[in-house]
Structure 1
Amino acid sequence: MTRGLTFSEAFWDSDIIGTYGWETLCRRMKEGRKVCTEVAHYLKDRAKAEADYSKALQNLARKADGKEETGVLGESWRNLKAQTERIASVHEEASSLFSSYMEEVTKFNEEQTRVKKQTEENVKKYIQSKKNEFQKTMSLKKTYEDKCKDFNNAEETLKTAKSSVTTKKNELEKAESKVNKAKDNRENADMAYRSSVDNLESTRSTWERETIQGCNQFEDLEVKRIEYLRDLLWRITNVDSTVCLNHDNCSESVRNILENCDVATDIQDFIENNKSGSKKPDPVLYENYYNGKALPPSRPPAGLPLALPKQAPARPPVKPPSPTRPPPRPNFRL
């Protein structure tokens, strides 16, 4: 792999008080913290979702009794209930893993945030010192330039006074005094300006050294963050793969039993375990009240309506017996 640029090589500004490069790195550190926070929120919500799903599956399995079905189909149905409970347990374990990952990434993010804040505040302090020293130096430079101009003007005035025949002695002395004073002011301004430049360079060197350390620290944090999140996301997907694999294994367990489910076999299994007997009840016979003989019931052919009983022929009216004779005995014929 070809070595690329590092943070300490790629985020500088040509302007001595420019901060765009450093602000870019600080923004990247802030974005990295936000990503870690988003991952933590994802894991928190994912753990809750897995826990809720596990609870729903457990309730679903409890409602499925499965006692009424018999044979291999009944075994399959009861195994499906058991496998549902197993899947619920798998999702409960996944919820626990996601919760532990959430706590882990939160601690990692907090530690990174602490180091980022410390590094950023340290470099920011030197940035401000460099800026203040630079502004002071620019102010002293202007003062020095103004004093140089004042000295040049005083010298020009003195030269003019010397060349003029009308210049009085006291005016000449006064002009010479102004030159001397302007010269002293120029030298003092020059010394202050030089001293400020030296201080600025010392401050700039310190800032540069601290900034390089800060860049290296930020790059080290970013490397650790990317490596950590890459590993964490890999572990998250491994949990998903494990859950899916367990789902499939549970389904395969039910399918293996269903492959042995034969309709005729299940019917015979029910018959053998629940049969009550093979002897049908005898027909109920007609029994005459007077002679005690039992006759089988006469049944019309299937599909035909029952025939109405024939009416007996009309008989002539019978005279009532005389009071002195007993009534005749009825003559019943079978």
Structure 2
Amino acid sequence: MFIAVLQNLLNYALPVKDNTFNMSYDVIEHFSSDILSTTGYDCIIQHLNNGRKNCKEFEDFLKERASIEEKYGKDLLNLSRKKPCGQSEINTLKRALEVFKQQVDSVAQCHIQLAQTLREEARKMEEFREKQKLQQKRTEILMDAAHKQKSLQFKKTMDAKKIYKQKCQDKDEAEQAVHRSANLVNPKQQEKLFVKLATLKTTVEDSDKTYMMHISTLDKIREDWQSEHIKACEMFEAQECERINFFRNALWLHMNQLSQQCVTSDDMYEEVRKSLEACSIEKDIAFFVNNRKTGQTPPAPIMYENFYCPQKNTASQGKAPGPNVARRGPLPVPKSSPDAPDYSLVDDYSLIYQ
């Protein structure tokens, strides 16, 4: 991918003889044929920097989600442990409520644990991001040096070309001067012009050699830069593949963790549902009646009493007439004598057990 970008940069405006790099002309339009241009390289670096920025954003997202999960877990834990919820219930419903509070407590602990897991995933993302940053930095240092060397050599070459061009122009002017003054100056002046022309020819030859030397050096530097650039692009492409794969797997794992949290919570809620299925309305009511009963005799009706004729009210207040109303009978006669073991004597007193 990145090699194709580099190749597009190097082969701008040149015919494509093969499709080794699967070049795309819409990509070519984004680059320049200028030897000093770093447009393609800068584009790749910007893309890699954006990739690390995206990793940082996901890392911050995980940290924020962890804070939310932790706060929710702690709030749920406080709610489960401190807030009363049906504390006066009895029997099967009481047991169901106890299971409910236990499972809510467990769900809260799961959310707190999930927060710790998310922070660990954020730490892994940070370590991966920093590792790629260092890898990219090492390659950038080499490429920056190559770009600087190429730029400096290009400047030297252009300066040598400028000098060579100027010397050639000076030589041409000297030759023209010799031709123009062939019949106008004396032999001594003519000799000076020839000497000057010869000197300029030597200077042109020297500047030409210097210019050619710089061209050769620049081409060698360009080839070295191109080789380093290809290596950098290969490294950047491998790094980007690794980043996308790591990012994708991290997001996939995050979804699995959230799904597992839901499954775990549902399993805990299922325990509450099972305990509610074991809750019996009849048993709870019977349990209440058996443990809190106060008696089977209802109160007797209140009878009317005439203030002026109390003797006519033969029925005692608080006694219910009728054959179905239970009445207290006379006290039983003790069957034991005072000398029997049923009697306990303490000094001059006797206590009878009835």
TM-score, with length taken from structure 1 = 0.80
Residue identity matched to 1:7: F
Q: Does 1:38 align with 2:38?
A: no
Q: Alignment identity in percent? A: 31
Q: Does 1:255 align with 2:273?
A: yes
Give 2:5's aligned residue: 10
**Equivalent position SS for 1:245:** helix
Residue 275 (structure 1) shift: 2.0
Pick aligned residue for 1:204 from 197, 218, 222: 222
Give structure 2 stretches of 5+ with no counterpart.
Answer: 11-32, 319-354
Residue identity matched to 1:258: L
Cα deviation digits, residues 278-305 of structure 1 (max 9, x gap): 223456788x9x99x963349xxxxxxx
Residue 262 (structure 1) shift: 5.1
Residue 58 (structure 1) shift: 0.8
Counterpart CA distance in 1 for 2:251 and 2:211 is 58
Give 1:274's aligned residue: 292
Counterpart CA distance in 2 for 1:273 and 1:152 is 128
**Equivalent position SS for 1:18:** coil
The 5 A counterparts of 1:85-164 are 85-162=105-182, 164=183
Residue 110 (structure 1) shift: 1.0
Residue identity matched to 1:127: H
Pick aligned residue for 1:57 from 76, 79, 82: 76
Q: Is the 8 A contact 1:64 1:81 kept in 2?
A: no
Q: Is the 8 A contact 1:147 1:189 kept in 2?
A: yes
Q: Is the 8 A contact 1:123 1:210 kept in 2?
A: yes
Mean CA deviation greater in 276-285 or 112-121: 276-285
Counterpart CA distance in 2 for 1:273 and 1:99 is 52
Could you say what the CA RMSD is over the residues aligned between the two structures, in angstroms? 2.5
Give 2:212's aligned residue: 194
TM-score, with length taken from structure 2 = 0.76
For these two proteins, the number of residue pairs brought into alignment is 291
Residue 142 (structure 1) shift: 1.3
Cα deviation digits, residues 34-92 of structure 1 (max 9, x gap): 11211221121222211111111111111235431124433332222111111111111
Pick aligned residue for 2:248 from 227, 230, 254: 230
Counterpart CA distance in 2 for 1:297 and 1:85 is 58
Counterpart CA distance in 2 for 1:149 and 1:267 is 119
Q: From the CA coordinates, give the structure whose radius of gyration is larger.
A: 1
Residue identity matched to 2:36: I
Counterpart CA distance in 2 for 1:203 and 1:229 is 38
Residue 238 (structure 1) shift: 0.8
Pick aligned residue for 2:98 from 50, 74, 78: 78
